[in-house]
Amino acid sequence: MVEVGHDVMRAVQLIRDGELVAFGTETVYGLGADATNARAVAKVFEAKSRPSFDPLISHVADTNTAQRVCREWSASAAVLADAFWPGPLTLVVPKALEVVDLATSGLPTTGVRVPRPELTREFLVAANCPVAAPSANLFGMVSPTTAAHVVEQLGHAIAYVLDTGPCEVGLESTVVRLTGEDAVVLRPGGVTFEELADVLPTIRTGADADRGEMQAPDSPGQLPNHYSPGVPIRRNVTIIAAGEATLPIGLLAFGELNDEWHGPVEQLSATGDLLEAASNLFASLRSLAARGVERIDVMPIPDVGIGVAINDRLKRAAQS
């Protein structure tokens, strides 16, 4: 049976023994294994039914340790790490040998990031190894933002969940690839493009590379269909068409809701606060699906700031 708790030393012991340990971060819960142990990393892919071409992020306690798992540490890397770590930013950099090839799907690069919760950083310090972790959900499904979400989907496959409470940001990290000083955003996430450009004006969006998804081998995990709550999703819904209201539709609301809606609803943010909406997104999708609706209609979400990442996830959820 999986244990859930705050016992850092128990989590460390299990990771050292090559077991899987889920842990909280500020973005979503991760499903962790010792990144230097190929057998342990293989268990991650197996537990999630994740295709092995999709590389994992190495989680480390601080910038110094991050430099140890990389072969190169550019000035751009230093600027971004300094500005956003600990926090929801992943840097893709040339990897050191220590990180096993399976963790990076054979790529010569590794994603690396320093998560924010104190307990998780204590765990990473004591583990004294990079911890490879994808989001702790079954492949293609909605990411977990509480320990209970992890237990629900993966409880049978893991030894321990290090519980840091509900995730503060609620959306995965922004992934930035660094090639020398050149920086490109591969996945929108918890740090907005504007925030990145403020400290690194030369950074580019991956929007061009992202067109057509599967042709973007740069970020193999960015599959078009992902984040599925298990029911169809319709985006940018402003009016419920006549007759449809009798279907069991769930509404994912953002901002003011008109009085005519009487069906199941989850409010992302009544005041239209995008940060609040991001933190509620995955839990709301899960709970609407659990109420037995046949479709989830989502009100329009402004495509600015962290709204870009929210819309990215909803777009993929709608395609799955």
Summarize as ranges the residues that interact with ligand TXA (CB under 6 A). 25, 27-28, 30, 54-57, 88, 90, 92, 104, 107, 109-111, 133-135, 172-173, 175, 186-187, 218-222
Could you write out the DSSP letters of every residue in 28-49? S-EEEEETT-HHHHHHHHHHHT
Using CB distances below 5 to 8 A depending on partner kind, what does residue 54 bind out of Mg ion, ligand TXA, none?
A: ligand TXA
CB of 4 to ligand TXA, least distance (A): 17
> For ligand TXA, which is the closer residue by CB, 86 or 134?
134
User: Is there binding between residue 27 and Mg ion (CB under 5 A)?
Assistant: no
Q: Which amino acid is at 297?
A: D
Burial class (CB in 10 A: 0-12, 13-18, 19+), 68: middle
E-state strands within the chain? 3-5, 21-23, 30-34, 57-59, 89-94, 109-113, 131-133, 160-162, 174-179, 182-187, 204-205, 233-234, 249-253, 265-267, 295-298
- Position of minimal CB gap to ligand TXA: 221
CB of 47 to Mg ion, least distance (A): 13
**Cis peptide bond N-terminal to 86, omega within 30:** yes
> For Mg ion, which is the closer residue by CB, 139 or 261?
139
User: What residues have CB less than 8 Å from 217, skipping those under 6 apart?
Assistant: none
CB of 90 to Mg ion, least distance (A): 12
Q: Specify the stretch interacting with Mg ion by CB under 5 A; choose among 2-10, 85-93, 133-141, 239-247.
A: 133-141
3-state secondary structure of 22: strand
> For ligand TXA, which is the closer residue by CB, 249 or 317?
317
300-to-231, 266, 303, 312 alpha-carbon distances in Å: 19, 14, 9, 13
Using CB distances below 5 to 8 A depending on partner kind, what does residue 209 bind out of Mg ion, ligand TXA, none?
A: none
User: Is there binding between residue 135 and Mg ion (CB under 5 A)?
Assistant: yes
- Position of minimal CB gap to Mg ion: 135
CA distance 4 to 178: 36
> For Mg ion, which is the closer residue by CB, 30 or 87?
30
User: Is there binding between residue 173 and Mg ion (CB under 5 A)?
Assistant: no
Using CB distances below 5 to 8 A depending on partner kind, what does residue 228 bind out of ligand TXA, Mg ion, none?
A: none
CA-closest candidate to residue 196, choices 107, 289, 77: 77
List residues binding Mg ion (CB under 5 A). 135
